[in-house]
Every structure is written in structure tokens, then in C-alpha cells.
Amino acid sequence: MNNQFRRVLVIGAGLIGTSMALALRRASGNILIDAVEGQDGYRREAQRVGVFDSVWPDITAVQQDYELAVLAIPARAACSLADSVSEVAEWTMDVCSIKRPIVEVFSRIAAKGRRCVPTHPMAGKAKGGPGAAEADLFRGRPWLFLETHPAPLQLEQMVAELGAVPTYVHSADDHDRNLAYLSHGIHLTSLSAMQAATGVEIDVAARIAGPAFWDITRLAASPSGFWIDTLLDNRDFVLEYLGGLQVEIQRFVRALQAADEELLRDLLDQARGSREGVEGARARHKAATETSD
Amino acid sequence: MNNQFRRVLVIGAGLIGTSMALALRRASGNILIDAVEGQDGYRREAQRVGVFDSVWPDITAVQQDYELAVLAIPARAACSLADSVSEVAEWTMDVCSIKRPIVEVFSRIAAKGRRCVPTHPMAGKAKGGPGAAEADLFRGRPWLFLETHPAPLQLEQMVAELGAVPTYVHSADDHDRNLAYLSHGIHLTSLSAMQAATGVEIDVAARIAGPAFWDITRLAASPSGFWIDTLLDNRDFVLEYLGGLQVEIQRFVRALQAADEELLRDLLDQARGSREGVEGARARHKAATETSD
């Protein structure tokens, strides 16, 4: 690839930042990849992983310019650091799970003539930190961009080199609403199901619960740190989703209260139709993606 | 085994009944296993599977006595047939997913001096019918009995021979409430999450939804037949669970509306604590079960 990024700075040597470094290093060995990591423990762990050329404790310690800087830190920290990071890089991108605050900050920076791209790789795992990083973390996963803020070709190519699928949604609003419906709200649904099930003795649940229980409540095991900020930053759309969820549950409540078999059948059939619709669309999308390889 | 059941009649050659026959046949080849199956298609399919000695179209066609009859049909049908089935068997058991109506009918029959045992194997799969049956369907799965209606030793031994784990809950009420909280209510939670997510365009959802979305909404794909009767028969406890679920969702709504970070953290931590509690109990139970083998 001719116009590859050859000097990359990763802000935040956590799971995502270090996984990106591992994947970039595997794809093209002879590039410079530095990191900035403020936490001592993460910095030592990142140095042990050995994928970064240098790991600086602070953006002010950075001594040179880069072709690409990646904000791989939580959205609020990314918003605070974006300006100073964009001073040392030709291109600045983020990988945060919410896009409205990022786009707002990037717009202000872009007014100074700097080039910023909001992005969001749909990848992660339960355990965080540089020690949990994997070069394959992004393989086959969508890497979201916004039509309102298109990425340069070389950035889309880099994402594809990491194994991800560059995928456009309309706008930051559209992104955040989709994530509320497909991830953040789903997360709270799982936690609510777990809490509602505490009406059963723990030992009984442990002995008799089947796969449905374990699958539907599994997100309750997630560490809370990431989620608190994400849910608060996206709370308007998450509340919209939860409002819709309450309406759907209330439909089942009414059907059961009335012992209305026909209504209940309709509701079950509608849900099956919805699921089959999205499964079908996924199968078509997968087939189309594989054909175009 | 000395006091093994040597003449078994299975009422309903569906997934569960035929799987039981396959597992029994594998465990002890030289026993008689007949079936009664009213649906022509199922009867032909069961005959093709070849595990039954005879497959009768109707209980009135049955020509002999059995040591054990298994009601492997939906609860309402099981309640209707229990009396006539118990006339031709020393022991009658059911395998229905709800226990209160069964226990009521079994009590009336027991008053005539017949011996009936309510049971519920926690096993199944998406596809039904004799063609989907597997001898391993019950392996490692709990097979529920009621302390109020203990099984004879030979029945517990048979269940263990099928690979299942005989597991007692207190009573029919207790069983039905537990199932509402761990299965029936969980099912409706998954369907509600699916319907609430239809606020996102199908093609967008198909491209960007991650494992959380696919896992939490997966039960929406289930065929509705079994579920309509089960949900209606257990509607009081399912409504109790859904009421609790609505309370839990409303807690998140309030925390987000108030942007109350501390409350949100408490709720996430509580859910994680609940999940870890039940995971820990499962691990202890598993360790204890394996030690006792």
C-alpha cells in the first residue's frame, strides 16, 4: 500500500489502542507506533507487550510529529485531549463508543484547519487493559464511520488491514441512536432481567436455570466503568429505547392479564418476524460482503 | 439395575418423548417401548426413527399394561389424558413445563389408588418432532421433581440413566414461579428487547449489531406454539416477573433522567453482584455434583 500511515501515535494503551498497535504491526512491520499512557500500571503492561516503540506518560512529553493520532480513551477524556493531540498529527481519529460529543469537539478543531475523523470499531471484550489486547480483536467486526465526516481512503484501508469492515452510518445522531437501540439499551435490558430474577433463591437458580437465563442475563457481569460514562453520555437515546421497551413489555402484560390467546400469538409472531427480518438482512449482507472479497 | 421399568408407554412421539425412548433404548436394549401418537405425520416420522416397538394412533388402541407411562404432550392434553393413561400403567409421569394443573389432575387420579409423578426435564431444542430427537438431549440437564410428590427410586435411577440430574424443588407452586422467573419471563424479556430494537432500520441493525444484540434477542426466533400455552397456563407468575422487570427498568430510567452517576453505578454494581452470586453458586453446585460422581 503506497499511502500507508508510517508514524502512528496511540493515545491510551488500553485494550483497543494496544490491539490496534498489534494489528498494525502485524500488517506492516516497519512503521513507528508510539503510545501515550497516563496510568503507570497500563504503561508498564504496555511496555511488557512490547508493541510500541515508545510509551510516553503524557502528550506534552511527545517529541515529534505523526501522520495519524488515535484517541483510544473514553469519550470525555478524548474530548479534553483532542485539541493538543491534533497539534502533533496530520490526521486525528477517535475510537469512542459515542459520537455526538466527539463530533462537536472535532468540528471546533477542524475550524483551525486540522483534520479529524470520528470512528467507532464495534469490538471489545470483557477484560480490558494492554495485557488483554489481541491483533485479531477487530477481525470481521464493523468499524463505523459517519457519512457527515468521511474518512480518507488511507484510513479506510488501514481499518480493512486490521481485519475490520469499514461501515458508514449517516451522522453522529444516527450513530448514537443506533447504539442506544442495539447495544446500550440492550445492555440495560440484560441487567434488568438479572435483577428481576433475583426473586428466585440463588441456589435454585444455579441448579435449574437453562441457557436462556444465562445468555439473556450475561451482560450483568460486565465491569461498570465504561458503561456509566457511555450510558450517561447517550442518555437521551437510551431513555428513548427504554421507553419503547416498557411499551413492549406492557403489551405482554395486557395480553396475559386478559388471557388473550390471539393477542399473545400476534405478539410472539411479530417478535419472530422482527428477528427473522434482521437475521435475513444479516445473511444477505454477509453473502454480499463475501462475494465482494 | 434390578427394578428397571421393562415396559414403557410414551404418550406423544415428539422431541421429548422420542428422545426419552432413544436414551432408554441405548441404556437398556431389551425393554419394550411403545408410543401413542395422534398426529399422522409424527406417527410416520416416529416409525422411521424406529425406536418404538409399536406406535398406536390413540390410547384406546393400546392392548396391554405397562410399568411406566410418560405423558410427553403439552400440559393441557396431558391433563385430559392422564386418567385413561393411568389405567394401563403401574406408574404415570408427565414431562410438562408447568406443574400446577398436572398436580391437580394427578391428585384426583391418585385418589383412585393410581401412582402418578409430576416431573419436568429442563431440556429442549428449537426444532421439535421425532426427527429432531436425540439420545443425548437430557445429558447434564436438571430433571425436576417436586418434594411434595417424590419419585420412586427406580424413576430417579431411570432419569439418571438418561444422563439427566434428578433435582427437587419444593412444590408445584415453587416450580411454576421459578420457571416464570428463570425461563418464561426471560423469554418475554428477549422478545420485548427485539421489538423495542425495531426502531432501528433492519439493514443498519444487520450490519452493526454485535454479539450482545444477537444473544439478548435470540429467543424471539422461537416457534410460538409451545410458548402460548405455557405463558397462559403460568400467567400469574409470569405477570409477577414482568412487574418486577418493569420496576428494574424504571430504576434505570430514573437514574438516567436525573443523570445520577452514583445511582447508576449502584444499579450496575447490584446487577453484577447478582450475576456473580448465581455464577458462584453454579460453580459450587457443579463442583459438588462432580465430586459426588
3-state secondary structure B105-153: HHHHHHCCCCEEEEEEECCCCCCCCHHHCCCCCCCCCEEEEECCECCCH
Using an 8 Å Cβ cutoff, are B123 and B17 in contact? no
- Residue A66: which H helix or E strand, with range? strand A66-71
CA angle B85, B90, B93 (to 5 degrees): 60
- The answer, yes or no, to whether residue A2 has pLDDT greater than 60, is no
Q: Look up residue A4 and give its amino acid.
A: Q
For residue A136, give the DSSP letter. Answer: T
- The answer, yes or no, to whether residue A45 has pLDDT greater than 80, is yes
- The answer, yes or no, to whether residue A190 has pLDDT greater than 90, is yes
The number of C-alpha atoms within 13 Å of A238 and in the hemisphere containing its C-beta is 26
pLDDT tens figures, A133-153: 999 999 999 999 999 999 999
Place of cell 508498564: A44
pLDDT at position B1: 44
Query: Min CA distance, A104 vs chain B (Å)?
Result: 20
Q: How far apart are the first and last CA of chain B?
A: 17
Alpha carbon dihedral B141, B147, B153, B159, in 10-degree steps, equals -20
- Percentage helix, strand, coil for chain A under 3-state DSSP, each rounded to 5: 60, 15, 30
Question: Are A197 and B186 within 8 A, CB to CB?
Answer: yes
- The answer, yes or no, to whether residue A125 has pLDDT greater than 90, is no
Using an 8 Å Cβ cutoff, are A54 and A9 in contact? no
Q: What is the ipTM of this complex?
A: 0.92
- Residue B266 Ramachandran class (φ > 0 left, ψ -120 to 50 alpha, else beta): alpha
Helix axes B224-233, A261-291, angle to 10 degrees: 140
Alpha-carbon gap, residue A4 to A161, rounded angstroms: 10
- The answer, yes or no, to whether residue A36 has pLDDT greater than 90, is yes
- Residue B21: which H helix or E strand, with range? helix B15-27
pLDDT at position B34: 97
Q: Cβ atoms within 10 A of the Cβ of B64, count?
A: 10
Using an 8 Å Cβ cutoff, are A75 and A99 in contact? no
Q: Which three cell numbers stand for residue B114?
A: 393410581
Q: Dump strand ranges (E) for chain B.
A: 7-11, 32-36, 55-56, 66-71, 89-94, 115-121, 142-146, 165-169
Closest to B165 (Cα-Cα) out of B122, B109, B225, B229: B122
pLDDT beneath 70, residues of chain B? 1-2, 291-293
Alpha-carbon gap, residue B237 to B172, rounded angstroms: 12
CATH no. for B175-291:
1.10.3660.10
Q: Cβ atoms within 10 A of the Cβ of B277, count?
A: 16
- The answer, yes or no, to whether residue A1 has pLDDT greater than 50, is no
Question: Are A186 and B213 within 8 A, CB to CB?
Answer: yes
pLDDT at position A268: 98
A61 touches chain B (CB under 8 A): no
3 state DSSP class of A196? helix
Could you tell me the fold of the domain covering A175-257? 6-phosphogluconate dehydrogenase C-terminal fold (1.10.3660)
Q: Cβ atoms within 10 A of the Cβ of B285, count?
A: 15
Phi, psi of B35, deg, nearest 5? -135, 155
Alpha-carbon gap, residue A123 to B105, rounded angstroms: 53
Nearest-CB residue to A194 (from B212, B224, B274): B274
3 state DSSP class of A284? helix
Q: How many CB pairs under 8 A join A and B?
A: 303
- The answer, yes or no, to whether residue A290 has pLDDT greater than 80, is no
Closest to A185 (Cα-Cα) out of A113, A242, A145: A242
pLDDT at position B291: 65
Residues in B touching A119 (Cβ below 8 Å): none
Phi, psi of B53, deg, nearest 5? -70, -45
pLDDT interval class at A289 (50, 70, 90): confident
pLDDT at position B234: 98
CATH superfamily of B7-170: NAD(P)-binding Rossmann-like Domain (3.40.50.720)
Alpha-carbon gap, residue B279 to B293, rounded angstroms: 21
Domain boundaries defined on chain B: 7-170, 175-291
Question: Are B245 and A192 within 8 A, CB to CB?
Answer: yes
* B143, B177, B204: best to mutate for the A interface, most A CBs within 10 A: B204
pLDDT tens figures, B37-89: 999 999 999 999 999 999 999 999 998 999 999 999 999 999 999 999 999 99
